[in-house]
């Protein structure tokens, strides 16, 4: 039992409590277990899937396999042969003609004599071939299984990753091929998509009606926008006919006519159809291309699905958002609370000089926000766009209360203490780089981050960064100590501040327990010499993981030990640095916590929270098919985790049961951040585990955090149906990807999920990333399947957990370890002696300077 800790596609076997006796694997909820129906198999012996990463480094060159590389200019016939072959392959058929032309341009001409092996079964292959002339045979286990003829292709899986060939290919006569290696293919796709994305993003941001949209909303527009092409003379829109597209010109020129008369011409960056998009009105002009024209097209139907409302409502709601953010009363609300308020607000229009509010109307009856135009009263007061009428009467305290309830620490406080908290919090603002307090200073206040991020620095070294709704400063107040670190504003930051006396008056026993647990996992004063070894938890290609204990505090930790020689050989320096950077930003009870890192001449070390439990991969096999309520429990845990990551622009990229632990309370905890990335816009690396990969990752079109929601959808299907929805019975990467791109979801008769559950799964498994997350975190939470779920109970760990692992008591092992006092250096010295040969000492370079 245990979970896989994957690092660049290698199984790390980061296991907890391995080889437990069979009796200990039974849940305390044994009476709640659900057996599989007859004939249903969750593949009890299925091995844990490894993640894969495309490094775009070709393993072979054409010359290494006895090809004769010829410099040949492609004729029209050559191009047609290649195009016909490409259109048979899903990796190319979804590409635009421009993309296909770029790939064809890059393909090389090769010749091979008769009886020449082009590919060998079981060996790696990194090139894709289209047969231009001649014939070849496909051989599997010594037997011919197919004949390859002109316009057939070979080696398509090589364009995705390093997968051993399932069969051999041998020429039957002198043959010629058009060839493409994986590195060239991935580079072309990424370069084209990245350039197009940047250009399209600039164009979208230049449109005034889109300028007030959030970054997420603009990204959704970009994802849904269609690429359109018109030839010279083609009619794009017709006067007095219904408009159905907003069109933004990328290249070329169009002519606008009204009643047959030329009005104007438009070119790059110009747009039309905005009135149709916003108000559903008729086209006011006829638009004709007077050159070849390339455009972005946004359909009203697309944005209705993607943004949940018509663009008019989006514009108005963003104006509402601006009004709330400007307001002295409402600026304490978080995004979710603002969204909730906006859901209750309807848009009403009045003609000029119409009465909006009668004089006799009670002051506290309604809230009015001006989103367009201007209103005034008989006393010559007026309210323009983004003005709020009657905001002074708004119930600030109740809204602040909802905000504070988002912070785990304050959940469960009695009304009296909540009132003290609300009455005594005040807001402070700090510019970028400004010190909030210094190391070794007296602790005078407790801080909660309202907006922005702060850096925690000890002895001039960055320890970690803390983000929105996280808190700091409690240690020196609780223990009456000097500040253990300096805290600086990472950027412009707003803080809620509570003075020491008020903080101590509010803190109850539950809060003290929460903070002391957190403080224990923030104790960066622990040194590697303070650790004694209890046992080895796992081993992998890069090193080992040990269960350790501090001799000073008896706090348990997992220590990941990574060999420098292996780091150098596998070229994972950047991956380790990014993993460290990400983990130091995360502080959540559902996410594995990094305490600190160490280094010496031979190794680097990650000191991690020790999570006792089983991994979800094993738990769902112990339970069997999950019922709807149990699926909902795990789904909501994972949604909370993803929301925490995505708020920080972190895409996880390898969400699957193997990377999730079920802790000793039955709640989920996400581990293994070796494949995660901080993104701004889109990223293009093909990475993850094939069965859980989103379509946009496979196609190389660029992806963002929406890819994680696809993986979540796969997991929910797996919980309910016993297997993944696409190619469950196949380990062939190409076949898996083909089924994912087909996107056909079937539910087994024995599972039969409820309609609301199916709707949620299919929302997450929408091939359009913009539609997948339904408009964001709040929209997912408000889905019919989840709308009544007790989210507060989940965060506070009050909800019933489907499976609580029975785990062995570690007291005896801890006592034994203290008697033996085996230090980590002792263990590693023994390990070095077992190796036998002298270890090559890797000279430390700048990559590990922060470890």
Look at the alpha carbons of 573, 575, 580, 582 in this order and tell me if their dihedral is positive or negative: positive
* Angle (deg, nearest 10), helices 97-106 and 76-86: 120
Q: Locate 473 and state its tokens.
A: 């400063």
Answer for the pair 268, 249: CB distance below 8 angstroms, yes or no.
Answer: yes
Q: Locate 797 and state its tokens.
A: 């760990």
Give CA–CA dist 103/123, Å, rounded.
25
Q: Taking the mean position of all CA atoms in its chain, how far away is CA 432?
A: 27
Backbone angles phi and psi of 582, in degrees to 5: -65, -50
List of E strands, 528-667 = 531-539, 543-550, 556-563, 594-599, 603-609, 613-615, 650-651, 660-663
Answer for the pair 691, 733: CB distance below 8 angstroms, yes or no.
Answer: no
* Whole-number CA gyration radius for the chain: 30
CA nearest neighbour of 369 among 411, 334, 329: 329
Q: In this structure, what is the dihedral angle of CA atoms 253, 257, 263, 269, given to the nearest 10 degrees?
A: -30
DSSP codes, 378-395 = TTS-EE-TT-EETGGGS-
Q: Taking the mean position of all CA atoms in its chain, how far away is CA 752?
A: 29
Burial 616-648 (b: 16+ CB within 10 A, else e): bbbbbbbbebbeeebbbbbbbbbbbbbbbbbee
Answer for the pair 392, 343: CB distance below 8 angstroms, yes or no.
Answer: no
Answer for the pair 255, 290: CB distance below 8 angstroms, yes or no.
Answer: yes
- Whole-angstrom CA distances from 81 to 76, 78, 100 are 9, 5, 13
Active-site position among 162, 618, 654, 663:
654
Pairing verdict, β 543-550 and 556-563: antiparallel
Give CA–CA dist 308/310, Å, rounded.
7
Contacts of residue 765, defined as CB under 8 A and 6 or more positions apart, other chains included, come to 710, 713, 714, 717, 725, 743, 745, 772
Question: Which strands, in side-by-side order, build the sheet including 594-599?
Answer: 531-539, 543-550, 556-563, 603-609, 594-599
Answer for the pair 293, 270: CB distance below 8 angstroms, yes or no.
Answer: no
CA nearest neighbour of 228 among 96, 329, 125: 96
74: DSSP letter: P
Q: Locate 225 and state its tokens.
A: 């926008």
Is residue 654 flagged as an active site residue? yes
Give CA–CA dist 791/794, Å, rounded.
5
Alpha helices in 743-810 (DSSP H): 755-764, 769-772, 777-781, 791-795
Look at the alpha carbons of 208, 211, 212, 213 in this order and tell me if their dihedral is positive or negative: positive
Give CA–CA dist 91/196, Å, rounded.
19
- Hey, which residues are catalytic here? 654
């Amino acid at each position: 039992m245990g979970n896989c800790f994957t690092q660049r596609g290698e199984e790390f076997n980061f296991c907890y409590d391995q080889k437990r006796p069979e009796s200990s694997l039974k849940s305390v909820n044994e009476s709640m277990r659900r057996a599989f129906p007859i004939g249903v198999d969750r593949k009890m012996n299925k091995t844990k899937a490894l993640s894969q990463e495309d490094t775009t480094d070709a393993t072979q060159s054409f010359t290494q396999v006895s090809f004769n590389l010829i410099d040949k200019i492609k004729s029209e016939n050559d191009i047609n042969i290649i195009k016909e072959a490409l259109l048979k392959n899903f990796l190319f058929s979804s590409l635009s003609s421009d993309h296909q032309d770029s790939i064809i341009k890059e393909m090389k001409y090769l010749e091979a004599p008769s009886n020449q092996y082009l590919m060998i079964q079981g060996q790696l292959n990194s090139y894709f071939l289209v047969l231009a002339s001649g014939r070849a045979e496909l051989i599997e286990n010594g037997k011919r299984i197919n004949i390859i003829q002109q316009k057939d292709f070979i080696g398509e899986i090589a364009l995705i990753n390093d997968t051993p060939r399932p069969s051999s290919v041998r020429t039957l006569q002198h043959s010629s091929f058009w060839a493409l290696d994986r590195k060239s293919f991935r580079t072309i796709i990424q370069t084209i998509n990245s350039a197009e994305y940047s250009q399209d993003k600039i164009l979208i941001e230049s449109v005034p009606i889109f300028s007030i949209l959030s970054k997420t909303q603009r990204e959704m527009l970009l994802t849904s926008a269609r690429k359109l092409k018109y030839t010279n003379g083609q009619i794009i829109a017709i006067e007095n006919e219904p408009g159905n597209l907003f069109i933004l010109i990328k290249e070329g020129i169009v002519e606008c006519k009204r009643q047959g008369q030329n009005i104007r011409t438009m070119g790059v960056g110009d747009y039309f159809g905005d009135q149709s998009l916003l108000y559903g009105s008729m086209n006011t002009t006829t638009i004709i291309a007077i050159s070849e024209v390339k455009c972005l097209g946004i359909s009203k139907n697309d944005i209705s699905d993607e943004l949940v409302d018509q663009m008019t409502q989006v514009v108005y709601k963003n104006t509402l958002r601006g009004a709330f953010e400007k307001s002295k009363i409402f600026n304490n609300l978080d995004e979710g609370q603002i969204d909730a308020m906006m859901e209750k607000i309807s848009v009403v229009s009045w003609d000029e000089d119409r009465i909006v509010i009668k004089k006799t109307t009670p002051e506290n009856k309604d809230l009015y926000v001006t989103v367009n135009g201007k209103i005034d009263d008989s006393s010559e007061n007026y309210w323009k766009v983004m003005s709020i009428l009657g905001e002074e009467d708004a119930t600030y305290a109740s809204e602040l209360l909802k905000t504070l309830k988002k912070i785990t620490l304050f959940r469960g406080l009695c009304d009296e203490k909540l009132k003290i908290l609300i009455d005594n919090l005040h807001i402070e603002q700090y510019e970028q780089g400004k010190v909030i307090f210094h190391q070794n200073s007296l602790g005078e206040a407790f801080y909660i981050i309202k907006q922005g991020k702060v850096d925690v620095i000890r002895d001039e070294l960055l320890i970690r960064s803390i983000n929105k709704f996280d808190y700091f400063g409690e240690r020196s107040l609780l223990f009456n100590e000097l500040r253990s670190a300096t805290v600086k504003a990472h950027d412009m930051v707003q803080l809620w501040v509570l003075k020491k006396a008020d903080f101590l008056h509010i803190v109850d026993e539950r809060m003290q327990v929460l903070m002391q647990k957190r403080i224990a996992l923030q104790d960066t004063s622990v040194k590697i010499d303070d650790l004694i070894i209890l046992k080895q938890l796992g081993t992998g290609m890069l090193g080992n993981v040990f269960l350790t204990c501090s001799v000073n505090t008896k706090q348990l930790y997992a220590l990941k030990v990574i060999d420098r020689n292996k780091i150098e050989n596998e070229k994972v320096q950047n991956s380790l640095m990014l993993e460290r950077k990400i983990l130091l930003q995360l502080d959540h009870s559902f996410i594995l916590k990094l305490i600190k890192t160490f280094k010496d001449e031979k190794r680097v070390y990650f000191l991690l929270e020790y999570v006792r439990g089983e991994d979800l991969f094993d738990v769902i096999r112990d339970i069997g098919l999950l019922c709807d309520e149990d699926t909902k429990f795990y789904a909501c845990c994972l949604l909370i985790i993803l929301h925490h990551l995505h708020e920080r622009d972190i895409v996880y990229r390898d969400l699957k049961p193997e990377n999730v632990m079920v802790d000793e309370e039955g709640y989920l905890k996400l581990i293994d951040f070796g494949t995660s990335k901080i993104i701004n816009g889109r990223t293009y690396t093909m990475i993850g585990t094939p069965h859980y990969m989103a379509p946009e990752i496979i196609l190389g079109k660029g992806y963002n955090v929406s890819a994680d929601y696809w993986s979540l959808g796969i997991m929910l299907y797996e919980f309910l149906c016993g297997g993944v929805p696409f190619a469950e019975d196949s380990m062939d990467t190409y076949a898996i990807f083909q089924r994912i791109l087909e996107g056909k979801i079937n539910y087994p008769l024995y599972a039969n999920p409820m309609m609301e559950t199916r709707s949620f799964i299919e929302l997450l498994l929408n091939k359009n990333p913009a539609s997948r997350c339904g408009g964001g975190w709040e929209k997912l939470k408000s889905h019919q399947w989840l709308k009544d779920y007790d989210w507060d109970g989940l965060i506070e760990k009050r909800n019933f957990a489907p499976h609580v692992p029975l785990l062995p008591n570690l007291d005896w092992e801890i006592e034994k370890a203290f008697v033996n006092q085996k230090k980590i250096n002792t263990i590693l010295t023994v390990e070095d002696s077992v190796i036998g040969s002298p270890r090559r000492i890797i000279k430390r370079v700048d990559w590990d300077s922060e470890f």
